[in-house]
């Protein structure tokens, strides 16, 4: 099961990296997606009492969410729900 999530995350990351490189606004997109992902992470953790969803803040989650934004958040939440 863990290998499946790693494979899905790898495919999402390669597709996202392809779009980043293809775009001419590479740095701007990375900064925007990092801000968007970390904002969503803060919202999820602030509403954890009501929703029951919580993403622990550590180097791996913050790094993955900063780089891959919304797909990383979705993958972490799906992994938490299924496991």
| pLDDT above 70 for 67 | yes
Report pTM.
0.67
Which domain does 53 fall in, by range? 2-82
pLDDT value, residue 9:
74
* DSSP-derived secondary structure for 20-65: HHHSS-HHHHHHHHHHHHHHHHHHHHHTHHHH------SHHHHHHH
Q: Which residue did the predictor score with more confidence, 47 or 26?
A: 47
- Band (pLDDT 50/70/90 cuts) for residue 1 is low
Strand, helix or coil for residue 1 = coil
CA dist 78 → 7, 15, 24, 26, 57 (Å): 14, 19, 32, 28, 17
- What's the structural domain count of the chain? 1
| pLDDT above 70 for 27 | yes
């Amino acid at each position: 099961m863990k290998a499946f999530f790693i494979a899905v995350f790898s495919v999402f990351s390669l597709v996202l990296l392809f779009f980043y490189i293809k775009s001419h606004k590479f740095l701007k997109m990375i900064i925007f997606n990092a801000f968007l992902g970390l904002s969503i992470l803060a919202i999820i953790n602030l509403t954890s009492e009501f929703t029951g969803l919580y993403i622990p803040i550590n180097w791996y989650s913050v790094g993955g969410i900063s780089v891959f934004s919304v797909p990383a958040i979705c993958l972490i939440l799906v992994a938490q729900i299924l496991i």
